[in-house]
Every structure is written in C-alpha cells, then in structure tokens.
Amino acid sequence: MKRGKVSSLKGEIHIPGDKSISHRSVMFGSLAEGKTVIKNFLPGADCLSTIACFKKMGVEIEQDKTDVTVYGKGLDQLSEPAELLDVGNSGTTIRLMLGILAGRPFHSSVAGDESIAKRPMKRVTEPLQQMGAKIDGRAGGEYTPLSVRGGNLTGIDFQSPVASAQIKSAILLAGLQAKGTTTVTEPHKSRDHTERMLTMFGIKLDEDETSVSIAGGQTLKAADVFVPGDISSAAFFLAAASLVPNSEVVLRNVGLNPTRTGIIDVLKKMGAHLEIEKKDAGSAEPYGDLKIKTASLQAVEISGDLIPRLIDEIPIIALLATQAEGTTVIKDAAELKVKETNRIDTVASELKKIGAHIEPTEDGMKIYGKTPLTGGAEVSSHGDHRIGMMLGIAACICENPIDISHPEAVSVSYPTFFEHIEKLAQKV
Ligand code: S3P
C-alpha cells in the first residue's frame, strides 16, 4: 500500500472500542448467568477470535457490528470443544482463556497463527500447572499448540516476574474456579480491566496497589457493558495530530483508565497541545474526549512503572521521538520482544528505512531527534497491527511516499484505521 504526506489533519473521529475490554466482556459474559449486552464492542480480528472460541464451547453469542449479546449459562455450562480453539493473532484470547480452561473438567486444544506460535506461554501454563491443571505443548508447555485438561484446582499465592495483565487475569480466572484463595502480586501494577469488570459481574476481589486476591467458588452475574474507545488506538491519532502541521483533531469517547494513560503523561511531558474533557468519571471504566493540536516536541525518558501503562504505545512513541528535540531513551521494556513481533527490532528496522536515527537496546531503544523522515522506501508491518499503524502515521510526515506491505494487519485492533486517516487528512 503506497501512502504519502498529508498537509494537515482536521475534524473528529469516534475511536473504536477498547480491545482489552471487548475481549473481557465476551469472556465474562460467557461465564456469567444471564444475558450480557455489550455496546461499542471492537469488531477487530482479535476480538472476533474470542467470540469464535466461546461459541465452540457452546455459548450462544450474537454479533451485529459493535453490538454483541452473550447468552451466558454459567461457568459449569461451558462444553468440551470438539474442534481446536483458534485464537488467531490474539495473545489476550489465549492467555485469559487458558485461565478459564484450566478449571474446566474437559479436554481442549488451543493454537493460533505464526506469531502466537512464537510467544511465550509458560508464564501462564506453569502457574496454572501448579494450581493443578494438566497442560502440555511444545517445549514443555512454552509454545502452541497446547492441550489442556482442567479441573480440581487449588489456590496459589503467585509472584509474577513481569507486570502483565494477561498473566494476572489468567491466574485470577483459574482462582475463581479453585479451592481457597488465589493471590497475584506484580512488580508494577498492570492494566486492571479484569478487576473492574469482574466487580461489575458481582465478583468480590481484595486489591491493593500491586496485588489482587480472589476467593474460589463465586459466580458471575450478567451485566451490561459499554466499551469506551481504545486509548491504544487513539494514540496513533494523538501522535499524528501532534506531528502533522496545522492539525486539530477531536477524538471522542476514549478510555481513560489510569492504568492505560501513560501515553497522555508522555505527550504532556513532550510538550503536546492536548486537552481532556472527562465525560464519565463515575463509570467502571472512565472515558472522555481528547482534543489535540500540532506542537513542537521535546525528548523524554520512559522507564519503570510507566512502561506497563504504555507498553502498546511504544511503537508510536518511537515515531513521535524521531520528531522531538533531543534524545529519547526507553528502558525497562524488554516485554516488547515478546509482543506480536519483537517490537524493539521491528520498530528500529522499519523507522531506520525511512530515515530515523534509532538504536535498539537490550530493554528498549534510543531515538535521536529531531530527524527529518525522508521516506521513499519499502517498509513492512511484519504482520503486526501496531507496526502497520505506526508506519501509516509515519507516511503522513515523510518527504516521499512509502510502500507498506501487509497493511491489512491493522484489522486486528483497528479495522477502520486507514479510513479514519482519509477522513481527517487534507492532502498535499
Ligand atoms: C493486554 C495486556 C498487555 C497488552 C496487550 C493486551 C490485555 O499484554 O500488551 O495488548 O488485554 O490484558 P501483557 O499483559 O502481556 O503485558
């Protein structure tokens, strides 16, 4: 796909539903008793994989674009799937579902695409085995395909080596089905959508800053869910409007959960012109409108407990940093290596091709700004949605057009991404 420069971005868009919250709404609706009505669901490929998996376990789910209804019959009514549970590209689907399957007294097989086959699973399969689940897979349960025979779990006190909501959620969902209490403690707090939504579905949790406990044997009651826009999708347009000259863009209904707003903190530190209008601070997931204008940016240092609050935004932050005065240093972000691609490598290699001065490091990267992006090169998403979108925004500021291969990867989390650029773009 050839993409070129735009002269400015103007207007407003509604950011599609949050991917993390959409997954959880289908999963928890499937475990609950009663009808769960979901509004503003993200019809991206990842969330559709979650729907397909739960249908294979006998759950009735209706989907009409962004409206989804789940007819839950309770955890005990999930049935043994006759087919492979195919998670596609979705790490959230496989890891959270493993926590559910670990407690079910049946057999299941789970696999996904080429990228999923390379992603580490022992981080969830080992603690689930400790709780009593029988799980096997390539390299002793590290890689898909995985087979699970669940049931008879006992609660554990688990110290997670990484701040990961996927690990935390998998253990809590197993804990819900275990004897006794299960506690997960993390080095830094990861996104807390599971805790917020389980509470909405009637589950009692004990939480402090970095640990959560759940008592086994509780039942979920259906609830209606409004999914706010995904701040990780909004991030691409926050960056685009900051970088493209004479831009002014309004992004509607963006989720503002504090465990996800690291990108806002970083943009403010960089000197972005950003205004936030909170619309509903009282709901389970806060959200609001974001207004953003072109600005000159300064380099920043990003590390420590900020990392889990913006882990998915690092590709687009790297692009922002190429246009900021000074050297941006990102560290403590080794988790980037085990995302949909090794994002330290893919960000550095693709940005270098279009003229950026960027150096990968063991746990992050250094970006030297401000460097004009010459473009005029062939780049690739490497099948990674966030790399594809970062390159789509980069094209808007490159001197010469760039050719992006595998742009279709964006449909994993933002099927209307290129349409939204067209809607806002004033062409050169
Ligand atoms: C997610 C958690 C994060 C994030 C992913 C979605 C979730 O992964 O990168 O895109 O929905 O729980 P980790 O939990 O592995 O950090």
Which pLDDT value is given to residue 338?
A: 98
Give residue 428's pLDDT band: very low, low, confident or very high (50, 70, 90): low
Which pLDDT value is given to residue 280?
A: 76
Single out the residue in 164, 197, 226 at which a domain terminates.
226
Residue of minimum CA distance from atom 5 in ligand 1 = 92
Which pLDDT value is given to residue 381?
A: 98
CA of 370 to the centre of ligand 1 (A): 31
The number of the ligand 1 atom at minimal distance from the alpha carbon of 194 is: 12
Average pLDDT of the segment spanning 92-109: 98
Average pLDDT of the segment spanning 9-29: 98
Q: Are residue 248 and residue 371 in the same domain, yes or no? A: yes
Average pLDDT of the segment spanning 277-295: 92
List, by residue number, the catalytic residues: 312
Which pLDDT value is given to residue 269?
A: 98
Single out the residue in 192, 226, 260 at which a domain terminates.
226
Q: What is the tally of structural domains in the chain?
A: 2
Is the pLDDT score of 282 beyond 80? Answer: no
Is the pLDDT score of 42 beyond 70? Answer: yes
CA of 245 to the centre of ligand 1 (A): 33
Is the pLDDT score of 281 beyond 80? Answer: no
**How many C-alpha atoms does 386 have within 13 Å on its Cβ side?**
27
Percent of the chain scoring above 90 in pLDDT:
98
- Is the shortest distance between the CB of 411 and ligand 1 below 6 Å? no
Which pLDDT value is given to residue 95?
A: 98
- Is the shortest distance between the CB of 311 and ligand 1 below 6 Å? yes
Is the pLDDT score of 262 beyond 70? Answer: yes
Percent of the chain scoring above 70 in pLDDT:
99
Structure confidence by residue, pLDDT tens digits, 47-95? 999 999 999 999 999 999 999 999 999 999 999 999 999 999 999 999 9
CA of 166 to the centre of ligand 1 (A): 5
Which pLDDT value is given to residue 427?
A: 64
- Is the shortest distance between the CB of 20 and ligand 1 below 6 Å? yes
The number of the ligand 1 atom at minimal distance from the alpha carbon of 166 is: 14
- Is the shortest distance between the CB of 92 and ligand 1 below 6 Å? yes
Q: Are residue 150 and residue 244 in the same domain, yes or no? A: no
CATH of the domain at 36: 3.65.10.10
Average pLDDT of the segment spanning 174-195: 98
Structure confidence by residue, pLDDT tens digits, 115-163? 999 999 999 999 999 999 999 999 999 999 999 999 999 999 999 999 9
pTM score, two decimals?
0.98
Which pLDDT value is given to residue 66?
A: 98
Is the pLDDT score of 253 beyond 70? Answer: yes
The number of the ligand 1 atom at minimal distance from the alpha carbon of 311 is: 9
Which pLDDT value is given to residue 68?
A: 98
Residue of minimum CA distance from atom 13 in ligand 1 = 164
Which pLDDT value is given to residue 386?
A: 98
Residue whose C-alpha is closest to residue 146's, from 166, 176, 169, 116:
116
CA of 258 to the centre of ligand 1 (A): 15
Residue whose C-alpha is closest to residue 255's, from 276, 239, 240:
276
CA of 92 to the centre of ligand 1 (A): 6
The number of the ligand 1 atom at minimal distance from the alpha carbon of 164 is: 14
Residue whose C-alpha is closest to residue 338's, from 140, 161, 197, 136:
161
Q: Are residue 189 and residue 304 in the same domain, yes or no? A: no
- Is the shortest distance between the CB of 358 and ligand 1 below 6 Å? no
- Is the shortest distance between the CB of 49 and ligand 1 below 6 Å? no
Pocket test for ligand 1, best of 18, 19, 20 (most atoms within 8 A of CB): 20
Which pLDDT value is given to residue 63?
A: 98
CA of 426 to the centre of ligand 1 (A): 34
Which pLDDT value is given to residue 114?
A: 97
Q: Are residue 346 and residue 220 in the same domain, yes or no? A: no
Which pLDDT value is given to residue 125?
A: 98
Single out the residue in 226, 241, 264 at which a domain terminates.
226
**How many C-alpha atoms does 78 have within 13 Å on its Cβ side?**
27
Q: Are residue 201 and residue 342 in the same domain, yes or no? A: no
CA of 349 to the centre of ligand 1 (A): 23
What would the 3-class secondary structure string for the chain be?
A: CEECCEEEEEEEEECCECHHHHHHHHHHHHHCEEEEEEECCCCCHHHHHHHHHHHHCCCEEEEECCEEEEEEECHHHCCCCCCCEECCCCHHHHHHHHHHHCCCCCEEEEECCCCHHHCCCHHHHHHHHHHCCEEEEHHHHCEEEEEEECCCCECCEEECCCCCHHHHHHHHHHHCCCECEEEEECCCCCCCHHHHHHHHCCCCEEECCCEEEEECCCCCECCCEECCECHHHHHHHHHHHHHCCCCEEEEEEEECCCCCCHHHHHHHHHCCEEEEEECCCCCCCCEEEEEEECCCEECCEECHHHHHHCHHHHHHHHHHHHCEEEEEEECCCHHHHHCCCCHHHHHHHHHHHCCCEEEEECCEEEEEECCCCCECCEEECCCCHHHHHHHHHHHHHCCECEEEECHHHHHHCCCCHHHHHHHHEEEC
Is the pLDDT score of 271 beyond 90? Answer: yes
Q: Are residue 84 and residue 110 in the same domain, yes or no? A: yes
Is the pLDDT score of 202 beyond 80? Answer: yes
Which pLDDT value is given to residue 205?
A: 98
Structure confidence by residue, pLDDT tens digits, 318-370? 999 999 999 999 999 999 999 999 999 999 999 999 999 999 999 999 999 99
Average pLDDT of the segment spanning 267-295: 94
What is the average pLDDT value for the chain, to the nearest integer? Answer: 97
Q: Are residue 218 and residue 232 in the same domain, yes or no? A: no
Q: Are residue 218 and residue 278 in the same domain, yes or no? A: no
| Domain enclosing residue 30, as ranges | 19-226
Q: Are residue 192 and residue 258 in the same domain, yes or no? A: no
Q: Which residues of 307-330 are buried (b: 16+ CB within 10 A; e: fewer)?
A: bbbbbbbbbbbbbbbbbbeeebbb
Q: Are residue 210 and residue 255 in the same domain, yes or no? A: no
Is the pLDDT score of 4 beyond 80? Answer: yes
Q: Are residue 209 and residue 235 in the same domain, yes or no? A: no
> CB burial class (10 A; 0-12, 13-18, 19+) of residue 64?
exposed
Pocket test for ligand 1, best of 42, 164, 173, 193 (most atoms within 8 A of CB): 164
Q: Are residue 419 and residue 340 in the same domain, yes or no? A: yes
Q: Which residues pair with 181 in a beta bridge?
A: 215
